A and B are shown apart, each in its own frame.
Chain A
Amino acid sequence: MRNLIAVPVILLAVILQSSIVSRVTLLSGFADLPLVMLAAWALQEDVDTAWHWALATGALVGFVSGVSWIVPTLSYLVTVALAQALQRRVWQAPLLAMFSVTFLGTIIGSLLSFAALQISGVSLSISDTFGLLTLPILLLNMLLAIPVFAVMRDLARWAYPTPEVE
């Protein structure tokens, strides 16, 4: 039953991304709310559904976006993998882990998008892409990281309550 929480949360994240977040631009970039949300979710203790969330979010973003569904799906899966790897190493500093996963996930997501566009025959300037897209996305994702982490932590505590020890 608690797995069903994924449906409204992912739908809401993608709707917010498409309708609001994508209109709040810095230079030519804007934040990637689904990526930040997945990073925060995967970093929560006891959460074992992050991989499913990544697949579902990637498929939904791929459906809405003009980019191939492989790009967001792969990007989100890599982000979850990074989060799960870091969670076991820097678990005492969750915010540090959150920033690290957001940073690396954003870079990898941008690289994948860049590669996908190059493969499809679109010529892109690396300097423009990095300066006007990747860096603003990185900054905005970092700004989103703390509030999104707090929301996902509360959601995880609600969905996966810790049994009280007597």
Chain B
Amino acid sequence: MALALGGYFSGDSNVFTASLVTVQTWFSSRFVALQDFLTAPRDIATLRQRNAELEAEVADLQAQVIQLQQAAGDTQIVAALLDFERANPQNQYKLAAVIGRDPSPFLQYVIINRGSNDGVLRGMPVVTNQGLVGRVDAVIADAARVQLITDPASNVNVRLQNAEENAALTGSVTGGLTLDLIPQNVDVEEGDVVLTSGLGGGYPPDLIIGQVVKVGGRDLDLFKQATVQPVVDFNRLPIVLVIVNFKPVEIAPLLPSP
């Protein structure tokens, strides 16, 4: 054995070892193949389980990504609203999330998650950093209903920034804004900015509403009309600000009774 391992029988042993190795290789390969065959189902089951675990993990991570993206979007909106709040220190604001819309498609209202418990009262104006949204129409303890300026029953006293002329802004069932009661002698052009006038005491003055996009009406009419494009996207209104230190003036008792 020692001589063989020492290489003294190399010539004779080569034939023997080569055939031995061949036989061992044959057995080994067959054994491995058999082992693979016998253990493969168990591996597939393990792999399937692992795959399911990984898929669940991926789903969780995707959900987290969506949540984080949403949180990032909300943070951007809140940051913009905070900037707006800092730029307008004369008002006190209450941040509110829009949690629903009016069940009737004939009306343009939204529901916010702040109510009388948070100091929100009926008539308070609602804005975003872009401009005027509407005003609080009804309040319960933890929620409030806001009438948008696009509601067909909404009427806002406005002024044209360039013309320094007052007019009335009304909504419609389709969500459009129409500027009415513009005197014929007033020069209104597309692009003119429309702001709240503060007349009537329903809204604070100088809140941006939108821009004139189309001037209409005939020369024979008493007043001109114009279509206004609002600066606020009312279809995407996740967070709003309620101006809580504004007290609307109730002018109904001052109006002459018919």
Contact = CB atoms under 8 A, between A and B. Distances in A.
- Give the dominant DSSP class at B's interface: loop
A18 B100 CA distance: 5
Interface of B: 99-107, 109, 111, 137-138, 145, 147, 151-153, 172-175, 235
B103 A22 contact: yes
Contacts of A128: 172-174
Given A18-B100, A22-B101, A66-B137, A124 B152 contact: yes
**Most chain A CB inside 10 Å of its own CB: which residue of B101, B137, B152:** B101
24 contacts: A14-B103, A18-B100, A18-B102, A18-B103, A18-B111, A25-B105, A25-B235, A27-B174, A28-B105, A28-B175, A30-B105, A64-B111, A65-B102, A65-B109, A67-B102, A67-B106, A71-B104, A72-B103, A117-B152, A121-B153, A123-B152, A128-B172, A128-B173, A129-B106
B222 to A, nearest CB: 16
Given A19-B99, A28-B173, A65 B104 contact: yes
Contacts of B138: 66
A29 interface: yes
Contact of A66 (B99, B100, B107, B235): B107
Contact of B102 (A64, A124, A125, A137): A64
B104 A66 contact: yes
Contact of A132 (B102, B109, B173): B173
Contacts of B106: 67, 110, 113-114, 117, 129, 133
A17 interface: yes
Interface residues of A, number: 36
A23 B104 contact: no
A66 to B, nearest CB: 5
Interface in A27-81: 27-30, 32, 34, 61, 64-67, 71-72
Given A22-B101, A128-B172, 20 more contacts: A18-B102, A22-B103, A23-B101, A28-B173, A29-B105, A30-B105, A32-B103, A34-B103, A64-B145, A65-B104, A65-B107, A65-B109, A66-B109, A66-B137, A66-B145, A117-B106, A117-B152, A117-B173, A133-B173, A133-B174
